[in-house]
């Protein structure tokens, strides 16, 4: 009898699918709910467990053996490094192209573009850490190309990730560089384009090609989510969150 109960218990445990553990760059957090909801329409039994962070820190965790099955990076550099080390089992592919925005919680004269950062009234500028966050690196590139970096670098307030840069732009800084996708989040509807934020001109920085890879610990369920992220439906969702289309 005890054996029968134990066997039934083990069968029940086997029927409970383990969640798919994925590591996701912070900028994608705003679109993740919609992506997972759409994925689960076709795969209702597959649960997705998301860990958010800067791409550099997530890569370090993966390199040390963190049990992630899939990695959605904010650029191609980090997944390429994992692929070269045979930690990723698929060649990195671009799933979205991210854009930058200049954002402040108070209304700003954004007709001046990035030159507003030179004003004395702008004392603090939030920016993601360029050493670990691709959006931070792109922000520095944009400022250098706009000939503003040396003039305003002392105003920087560094955030750990681009999502934290949004928090800092509201609380600890006058304005900040954030992922364009953040401003398409339902939570950010109160902030208006042209009043609170403006896109950073694309020619000022290289397109932020964001790469996805499957990792050694990946399951068949993770493979299904990987295929979905590269699908036409997922691209539509990314577009709805301000990601840049090819050719822009």
CA distance 174 to 117: 9
Q: What is each CA distance from 12 to 1, 43, 47, 55, 165, in whole angstroms?
A: 17, 20, 17, 37, 44
CA distance 202 to 9: 57
Q: What is the pLDDT along the chain (248 residues), one digit of tens a residue?
A: 545 444 444 444 444 568 999 999 989 998 999 999 999 999 999 999 999 998 999 999 999 999 999 999 999 999 999 999 999 999 999 999 999 999 999 888 888 889 999 999 999 999 999 998 999 999 999 999 999 999 999 999 999 989 999 999 999 999 999 999 999 988 898 999 999 999 999 999 988 999 999 999 999 999 999 999 999 999 999 999 999 876 44
117: closest CA among 159, 88, 151? 151
Q: Tokens 């301000």 identify what position? A: 242
Q: What is each CA distance from 154 to 18, 84, 102, 124, 151, in whole angstroms?
A: 47, 37, 17, 8, 8
- Enumerate the domain spans of the chain: 2-97+207-240, 100-204
CA distance 141 to 127: 12
**DSSP state string for 180-217:** GGGGGSGGGTTS-BTTTEEEPPGGGS--EEEEEEEBTT
pLDDT at 12: 45
CA distance 46 to 159: 33
CA distance 24 to 45: 21
pTM over 0.75: yes
Question: What stretches of the chain show up as alpha helix (H) in DSSP?
Answer: 2-15, 29-42, 55-63, 77-84, 134-145, 149-152, 162-171, 220-229, 232-240
CB 79 within 8 A of CB 88: yes
Class of domain 100-204: alpha beta
Domains 2-97+207-240 and 100-204 share a fold: yes
The domain made up of 2-97+207-240 has a fold known as D-Maltodextrin-Binding Protein; domain 2 (3.40.190)
Helices 232-240 + 29-42 axis angle, to 10: 150
């Amino acid at each position: 009898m005890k054996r029968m109960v134990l066997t039934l218990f083990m069968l029940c445990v086997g029927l409970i699918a383990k969640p798919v553990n994925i590591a996701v760059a912070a900028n994608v957090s705003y679109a993740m709910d919609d992506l997972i909801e759409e994925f689960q329409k076709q795969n209702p039994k597959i649960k997705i467990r998301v860990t958010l962070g800067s791409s550099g820190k997530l890569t370090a965790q993966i390199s040390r053996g963190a049990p992630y099955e899939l990695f959605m990076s904010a650029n191609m550099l980090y997944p390429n490094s994992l692929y070269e080390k045979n930690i990723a089992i698929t060649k990195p592919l671009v799933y979205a192209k991210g854009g930058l925005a200049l954002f402040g919680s108070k209304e700003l004269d954004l007709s001046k573009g990035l030159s507003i950062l030179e004003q004395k009234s702008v004392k603090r500028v939030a920016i993601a850490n360029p050493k670990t966050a691709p959006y931070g690196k792109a922000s520095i590139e944009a400022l250098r190309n706009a000939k503003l970096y040396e003039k305003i670098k002392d105003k920087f307030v560094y955030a750990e990730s681009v999502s934290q840069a949004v928090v800092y732009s509201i609380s600890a800084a006058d304005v900040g560089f954030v992922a364009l996708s953040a401003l398409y989040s339902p939570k950010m509807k109160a902030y208006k384009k042209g009043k609170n934020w403006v896109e950073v001109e694309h020619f000022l920085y290289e397109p932020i090609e964001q790469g996805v890879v499957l990792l050694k610990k990946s399951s068949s369920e993770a493979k299904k989510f990987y295929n979905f992220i590269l699908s036409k439906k997922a691209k539509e969702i990314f577009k709805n969150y301000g990601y840049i289309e090819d050719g822009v």
